[in-house]
Amino acid sequence: MSSLPSPSAEDHFERRKTGIGVRMTLLYSLVYAGFVAVSVFRPQWMAARAVLGLNLAVAYGLGLIVLAIALAMLYNQLCRTPRQSGAEGGRP
């Protein structure tokens, strides 16, 4: 049987979550800013074939949407409370 985390452990956990959230936001912001920068300063690159037959514009745009969903899932995994993780036999 698991027990509730102590207040200090909870504070520590909340701080950790905030840190993860900020880092992920910065990471996504960088990728998003890259997209805007290429569109503005090198728009001709966007017509070039990139992956799976898609041009860079479509591949980068769809990639941003898929990345957002993937980061959201990852964040949820990293932000599960110690109680949840313990009950499910996961990491402390």
Partner 1 sequence: MTVIVFLLFVALVLAVSRYTSRRAQGVGGYFVANSSIPWGVNGIAFAGGYLSVASFLGICGLIAFFGYDGFLYSIGFLAGWIVALFVIAEPMKRRGTFTFSDALNRTFSHPGIQLAAGLSVLVVSLFYLVPQMVGAGVLVEPLLGIPHYWGVLIVGSVVILIVAGGGMTSTTYVQFFNGGLLLLVATVLTGAVLFRGIDLEQLPPEEGGAQVPGYEYRVLPAQIDGQSVTVDLRGVRLVDRHAVLDHNTGEEQTVLYRLSHLVPAQAGPGDVYSAEIKGRSARFNGRSGPGWSIEEIDGGTYVRIEDWWRWEGGTSSHLAETQARTVRPDGVVLMNGAPDGPENRIRQMGGVSALPDAYGRQTGPVGPLRLLSVFADQDTVVEVPRNTSFATSGGERVTVHYEQSLAGSTFMRPGLMFPLEARTGEPAFTTLLNRLNFISLMLALFLGTSALPHILIRYYTVPSAEAARKSTIVAIAGIGLFYVLTMYLGVGSIAAGALNPETSNMSAPLLARSFGEVLFAVTSGIAFTTVLATVSGLIMAASGAVAHDLMTNLAKREVSDAAKVRAGRIVAVVVGLVGIVLGIAFRDMNVSFLVGWAFAVAASANLPALLSMLFWKRTTAQGIIASILVGIGSSVGLILLSPDMWVRYGFDPATAPMPINQPGIVSIPLSFAVLVVVSMATQKRSRTTAGAAPGTA
Residues near partner 1, by CB under 8 A:
11, 14-15, 17-18, 20-22, 24-25, 28-29, 32, 35-36, 39-40, 43-44, 46-47, 52-55, 57-58, 61-62, 64-66, 68-69, 71-73, 75-76, 79, 81
Tell me the closest approach of the beta carbon of residue 89 to partner 1, in angstroms: 19
Distance from C-alpha of 33 to C-alpha of 54, rounded to nearest angstrom: 21
Q: Are 68 and 25 in contact (CB under 8 A)?
A: no
Contact 83, 4 (CB under 8 A): yes
What's 6's DSSP letter?
P
Judged by beta carbon, residue 53 or residue 89, the one nearer partner 1 is 53
